[in-house]
Amino acid sequence: MSVQGWNTVLVLGGIRSGKSEFAESLVTDAPVVRYVATAPEGDPEDTEWATRLAAHRARRPGSWTTEETTEDPRRLADVLASAEPNETLLVDDLGGWVTVLLDPDHQPADDVATIAELADALRTCSARVVLVSPEVGLSLVPTTPLGRAFTDALGAANRAVADACDAVVLVVAGQPVWLKPVAAPAASASTAATAASASTAAPAEPAAPATATAPVVATLADAEGIPEVQLPDVLTHTPPPAPNQESGNPWAAPTMALPMVATGLVIQPGMELPMPDEYAGPQAVDRLATLDVPGAGLGVLDRVVGFAAATQGTPTPRAWGSVRVLLLHGDHAGGGSAGAVAGESARRAAQARAGQGVLARLAAENGASLQVVDVPASAAMETEPALTLDQVESALRYGWRLAEQAADAGVQLLVLGACGAGTEAAAAAVLAATAGAEPPTVLGRVITDTGEIDDAAWMVRCAAVRDALHRTRRSSRGAKDILAELGGGDVAVATGVLLGATARRVPVLLDGPVGVAAGMVSRDLAGQARHWCLLADHGGHPAVRLAADVLGLTPLLDLRLDLGEGANALVALPLLRSVLALSAALPMHPSLGGGEPTPTGEAVPTIDEPSYLDTGNSDPDGTEPDFAEPEPAGPGPASTGADDQPASGWRAG
């Protein structure tokens, strides 16, 4: 579930304001939801009330369970107190609860004490809870004693619950207005804690220095006592020329204009980062149906076009020109790394730095730069926290800076990879903590360096994850706590990368357990981050399958590659680029006005329809974006890189 990082939320609203629908949208990411119904059935002859109840029931997914507290209003506090940390509860609504509380059958009773019990249970509840309640404070004072008693009791309940909740939102005409976000850290001489939204209503202007009037995505300041860490070198390896071909880089392209953000970092739950362009993606997919293609089109790969359209803010997206691969290297101690060869991850990282091995070769073939990032080593999670909270803060900032560095260099797509002993076990632990998964179901088989299956090592890994979850069973399930207790350095840095990329509107291609685990954690720091992620292939890994389902990421391919996290995505990248280049270059079908056919069968562009084959700006009045392509860097086909379009986003699938 992703409720912008909050554990308990109160959703207020008037009659027919859309408060229940909004509350339900907050828990759509949860694998299982317990719906707590408080309203009584009412008069059997009241068909209008019965219709309302039926509409509520019809909206609930089949995976939800329902629990009723209409018989005893005090039972709601017991339900909250007994809820488990991995549960998600939706209470709808407190108006019905107060109605039952004031029912003569439950009188005499101490209503104030019952409301206080509810608030206390909410404060100590370890589950995620979303409560719905009518806001009656804006209406006229009722003229009847019973009406006044109801408004007084409901007003007292709303105030008590709002005080106990982490966040409060008021829904007016279907539009949420957040009244109580998570409190920011106290400001000090070296720490700032402010956050502001970055607008996605229109494409951003070219990057400019941040000023007092410029939109700031988040205030970022260094934590006290933690020095800045030098970012690693960016490596660009040149692939060996293929036989009878000249070397060159046909993917050279101008950089995108991206919004500037403030530097120095405080990452906290509930950050308001840019959201995708909700119109460009569907428009791009609809446009595909008009193109001059002989067959049925791109099939499921139309999602690539929709995703790229949203991240670039245009219904005619271009292929990603500048791509950077981030390889996170860090080992996990303890049983989570059972079966791993000592020093193997360090060898892989050194191999990538030298331009050798699978990842470096694929990066070179794709014209992508490569950055090998050494992350903090993680302790044995079954016996102690993987990282300290200070290390988590530093790792999150470090990842954010990596994304900022890439955006400043004009990178248009980030590919997230990882290599390290114990990374799969750490990712499984994170999934178990955030999605309630059972460790054996998300831990992949252990394959030795000789290609054999090591079941003994797999059982040791399962036991390590099980013991880590048992050790942390009473710990907070906040994002930073999960990273400190279970995730470790690579997942923490990857989470920072996702947040920083979201702030700078740079899409991220995920590939493997570490990336999707970071996506799960990032939901509670900034729920917008997952909408900027694309998953090319699940690789047959159970953890990636589950996380993709929870995050709403549909894998584009089913190749079941296992070349290492990051390398699998690079194998698919040329296909994705080809799809984007084709969708941008093809004209509209002649039958739809795309051009007049000639005796040779070619379509000549008409005056009132811009040609997507033209390499310049074919739109004299400036209503279409300029798709002028740069001169190629060497012999070969013209560049198909992206033009100067700001990024916006739309979730694939």
Catalytically active residues, by annotation: 565
Q: Where would I find the beta strands (DSSP E) of 48-137? A: 65-68, 88-92, 128-134
Q: Are 122 and 9 in contact (CB under 8 A)?
A: no
Q: Which residue has the tokens 């360090």?
A: 346
Helix/strand/coil percent split, the chain, to 5: 35, 15, 50
**Any idea which residue has 């009518």 for tokens?**
134
C-alpha span between 440 and 444 (Å, rounded): 8
- What six digits make up the tokens of 46? 């009241």
> What are phi and psi for residue 535, nearest 5 degrees?
-115, 115
Largest Cα separation within the chain, whole Å, is 93
Identify the helix (H) or strand (E) that includes residue 405.
helix 389-408
Give whole-number Cα distances, 29 to 63, 475, 546, 552, 553, in Å.
12, 22, 12, 8, 11
Report how far residue 530's alpha carbon sits from residue 508's, in angstroms, rounded to the nearest whole number.
Answer: 9
Q: What is the DSSP string of 434-503?
A: HH---HHHHPPPPB-TTS-B-HHHHHHHHHHHHHHHHHTTTS---HHHHIIIIIHHHHHHHHHHHHHHHH
Three-state DSSP at 75 gives helix
Q: How many CB atoms lie within 10 A of CB 380?
A: 18
Of 317, 260, 216, 282, the C-alpha closest to 645 is 317
